[in-house]
Amino acid sequence: MHIVYAGADWQKYWLNSLKSDKTIGLVPTMGALHEGHLDLVRKAKSETDIVVVSIFVNPTQFNNQEDYDNYPTTINEDLDKLRKENVDFVFLPKTETIYPEKPELSINFGELETVLEGAYRPGHFNGVGIVVSKLFNIIKPNQAFFGQKDLQQTAIIKRLVNDLSINIKLEIVPTRREVDGLAMSSRNVRLNLEERNQALILFNSLTKAKKELLEGMPWFEVQNQIKRDFEEMPLARLEYFELIHPERFATYKDFDASQKSSICVAAYLGKIRLIDNLPIIP
């Protein structure tokens, strides 16, 4: 496994892959790797010739400085996991490598920035768009792999690729969950035992809501019941629980079984913010 720290170091490897007609798969991460990340790696290895995993905690996508400062860093453990998966390259840049100067560019993703994560984390998707664009330009992959857990982020990246005619195939890999259903997240390691136990309300609320919708309960009743469930959890604070179109992210007021739909949830467990989603009608 090769570790590269700058775009110039990667350039010679990219040229060799070009000459040998080998495809490149990119798995962008912020480190603190878990099985969900490794699912992306395995998918990339099954579909491309050369797999590059980037590890970079991107400061421009954090609208909360404390969250950025406390984001878990486990680089030695991450590299060990990637070696065991026989990853070809790890791109491990420093902040000044990615941002030699503060970016002046701003990317507006339209209505995707006005709902859910866009509404609650202003500037977040601008930061995501800029860093993903940089990674695409540096690594020049044929395919890039992202997790379904960050559903709205995948919609943002799809729009970036489509609107800018970037010649990259995107692969969205299903969410990997713990045995009890909690979506795997790098932030889970920051939960104490009681917070971890109460965090199950995210997945439980999604599965409960899906069941009740499919049984005919009106959406407003389902949503109100879930809000009451969260109020009974002393460490949990619900931020949103919405029924949406999984591509346009328009929010629905009523459930229609003939339309694509997913439910998205965000909540705090203590100081730790978690998100999750579940398809209702794929």
Domain extent listing, the chain: 2-173, 186-275
* Token pair in block for residue 82: 């990637």
- 124 annotated among ligand-binding-site residues: no
Residues designated as active site: 37
What class is the 2-173 domain?
Answer: alpha beta
Q: Which residue(s) pair with 147 in the sheet?
A: 173
Q: Read off the pLDDT of residues 13-62 as tens digits, 9 standing for 90 and up.
A: 999 898 899 999 999 999 999 999 999 999 999 999 999 999 999 999 99
State yes or no: 65 annotated in a binding site.
no
pLDDT reported for residue 171: 98
Please write the tens of the pLDDT for every residue from 201-225. Answer: 999 999 999 999 999 999 999 999 9
Task: Tell whether 186 is in a known binding site.
Answer: yes
DSSP 239-273: EEEEEE-TTT-PBPSS--TTS-EEEEEEEEETTEE
pLDDT, average across residues 6-10: 93
186-275 to CATH, choices 4.10.95.10, 3.30.590.10, 3.40.30.10, 3.30.1300.10: 3.30.1300.10
Mean pLDDT, residues 223-240 taken together? 98
Pairing label, strands 2-4, 169-173: unpaired
Cβ neighbours for 24, distance < 8 A, ≥ 6 positions apart: 14, 17, 48, 49, 50, 51, 52, 139, 140, 141, 142, 143
**What pLDDT does 35 receive?**
98
34 belongs to an annotated ligand binding site: yes
